[in-house]
Copies of this chain bind each other. A is one copy, B any other.
């Protein structure tokens, strides 16, 4: 089985974190490939940055999906995920969607631990869009500027751990979601140090993508995730144009 993880950000250091955690998480026989957005920003915190990341992700997916059994949008916030689910013939998931699936299977209420204050509103809207608002105990975030997005978990591991403990003890979280590709792998290293189950987006996405491939639930032929209807288009990147045409 071959999985493609697309980093919607331009950060190669984060792609490397994603690749490492994905490979550690994958079942035997699963091959992992990670692509980094050719354009965009260092890390997505806002709706506008997500719009940019979604388009970059769509382009990469359109160009490369044919070689893979499933696609993972590898940024928390899942830029472009539900759009790609319509257009692509194989299963697609994203770090937030996959982390919420894991949290759903582990407890009732969860908290998201995030890397910046600014990122919280966008995360909340994404969680709400999946209908998980009533299970969100809280979002807690670092409040200091990030020196380096690729080294955030090294620099802030202790602060992130404290946020997680407060989420359990003060906010009523049953499960901790460590949010954002820059934290990929942190759940693994904090294992046993937190008072509640800890969920990581990358490992969740890899495992759930494998499950979707295994379950073979089928691609929508009707309903809102069927491929977009045929209609005139203009000026699109060739791979996207081909994706729209071939349905």
Question: Which of B51, B93, B135, B174 meets A225, CB within 8 Å?
Answer: B174
The answer to whether B51 and A121 touch across the interface, beta carbons within 8 angstroms, is: no
Q: How far is the CA of A168 from the CA of B218 in the complex (A)?
A: 14
Cβ proximity bits A124-140 to B, threshold 8 Å, 1 near / 0 not: 11001111111100000
A228 and B134 in contact, given A215-B199, A236-B52 (Cβ under 8 angstroms):
no
Q: How many copies of this protein are present in the complex? A: 6
Cβ 8 A contact of A218, one of B10, B169, B198? B198
List the interface of chain A (C-beta within 8 A of B): 10, 25, 27, 38-43, 45-52, 54-55, 58, 80, 82-87, 91, 93, 97-98, 100-102, 104-109, 116, 118, 120-122, 124-125, 128-135, 168-169, 172-175, 187, 191-192, 194-200, 203-204, 207-208, 211-212, 214-226, 228-229, 231-236, 240, 244
By a CB distance below 8 angstroms, the chain B residues around A236 are 39-40, 52
Whether the Cβ atoms of A131 and B134 lie closer than 8 Å is yes
